[in-house]
């Protein structure tokens, strides 16, 4: 009897012990799992801090602006707050110097034109665009366009084969380089499709030449935003309309390039992705949170920042593509 009772007691004790040990093991596992989960963001944050530079080097193009350092100080201070890093200011004289500075690693951040961004990418492949600025509440993009005289029926590029096209100087972005390269990308070689490419002083002169019959089409640029009856919000057609040019209603667009961002606020690609995301997010809010700082860096484009990626600059990147070199500069100069 006593033996049976002892055996039962031992069995109950053994089962209780097993349950206790199992519960203890499960508790230990849960504690370890919780510790691992809590340590992940700490580890990631520590890694981010290891990768972060000690400071950020900001380049600003000033040309002949003697008060530039004071003018952009509010933006420099805002960038320090956004990046959570000290920001050093480097004053640059030209867009060409800005391209060289970011390509060589002398600076980390600079506002470039679309063409300068493409040039920097072609030079080193070491730049990444974060945002572009816009002039108003419309999308922050513009287009190279090809304009002709309106006919009885809607005109097309095919109708202009063998005719004379007005173009800008060979360094002109929307008056020469972008439209020629992108027409070729669309399968139309401008040098063989048109009988002649005739250089004009400016795009408005090209429109006048089209209207008086000296030339049959002209390259120009436009926002293609707003009302067509006023020549859109900005561009060659709008310039002609505002100037009261005769025959405005006789003009029509027959081709346009892909959209092009107005600017490229760019960082070097070797900076940490965490920093790039932080800067992009801060810039997106800058016009609302610090309008003075925004206008200090974008006085001519007050519409605010929009996010961009490398592919958004493809229309301009094509102008540095070796497959279009002979088209853009047949003399090899």
What DSSP line would sit under 154-175, residue for residue? ---TGGGTTSEEEE--TT-III
Low-confidence ranges of the chain (pLDDT < 50): 1-3, 5-18, 20-21, 24, 28, 32, 36, 39, 42-47
122's CB contacts (< 8 A; 6+ apart) are: 317, 320
Decide: helix, strand or coil at residue 127: strand
Per-residue model confidence as pLDDT tens digits over 29-43: 555 455 545 545 544
The per-residue pLDDT for range 72-90, each reduced to its tens digit, is 999 999 999 999 999 999 9
Distance CA 201, CA 205 (A): 6
CATH pick for 56-138+262-322 out of 3.20.10.10, 3.40.50.620, 2.120.10.10, 3.40.190.10: 3.40.190.10
Give residue 238's pLDDT: 97
Task: Say how far apart CA 152 and CA 150 lie, in whole Å.
Answer: 7
Quick check: helix, strand or coil at residue 256?
A: strand
Q: Return the pLDDT at 185.
A: 98
The structural architecture, per CATH, of the domain 141-253 is 3-Layer(aba) Sandwich (3.40)
**Local structure of 104: helix, strand or coil:** helix
Q: What is the pLDDT at residue 91?
A: 96
Fold matches, 56-138+262-322 and 141-253: yes
The domain limits of the chain are 1-33, 56-138+262-322, 141-253
Give this prediction's pTM: 0.83
């Amino acid at each position: 009897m006593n033996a049976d009772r002892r055996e039962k007691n031992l069995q109950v004790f053994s089962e209780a012990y097993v349950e206790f040990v199992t519960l203890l093991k499960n508790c230990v596992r849960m504690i370890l799992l919780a510790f691992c989960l809590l340590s992940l963001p700490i580890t990631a944050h520590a890694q981010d801090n290891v990768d972060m530079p000690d400071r950020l080097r900001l380049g600003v193009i000033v040309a002949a602006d003697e008060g530039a350092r004071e003018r952009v100080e509010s933006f420099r201070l805002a960038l320090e707050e956004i990046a959570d890093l000290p920001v050093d200011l480097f004053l640059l004289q030209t867009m060409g110097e800005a391209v060289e500075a970011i390509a060589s690693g002398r600076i980390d951040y600079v506002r470039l034109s679309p063409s300068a961004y493409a040039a920097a990418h072609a030079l080193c492949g070491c730049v990444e665009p974060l945002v572009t600025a816009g002039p108003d509440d419309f999308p922050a993009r513009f287009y190279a366009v090809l304009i002709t005289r309106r006919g009885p029926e809607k005109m097309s590029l095919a109708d202009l084969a063998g005719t004379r096209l007005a173009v800008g100087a060979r360094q002109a972005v929307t008056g020469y380089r972008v439209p020629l390269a992108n027409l070729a990308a669309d399968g139309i070689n401008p040098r063989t499709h048109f009988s002649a490419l005739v250089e004009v002083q400016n795009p408005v002169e090209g429109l006048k030449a089209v209207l008086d019959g000296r030339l049959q089409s002209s390259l120009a640029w436009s926002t293609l935003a707003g009302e067509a009856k006023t020549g859109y919000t900005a561009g060659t057609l709008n310039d002609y309309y505002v100037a009261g040019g005769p025959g405005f209603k006789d003009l029509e667009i027959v081709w346009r390039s892909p959209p092009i961002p107005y600017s490229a606020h760019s960082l070097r690609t070797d900076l940490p992705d965490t920093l790039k995301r932080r800067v992009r997010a801060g810039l997106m809010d800058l016009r609302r949170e610090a309008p003075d700082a925004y206008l200090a860096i974008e006085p001519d484009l007050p519409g605010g920042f929009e996010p961009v990626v490398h592919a958004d600059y493809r229309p301009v990147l094509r102008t540095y593509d070796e497959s279009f070199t002979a088209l853009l500069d047949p003399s090899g100069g």
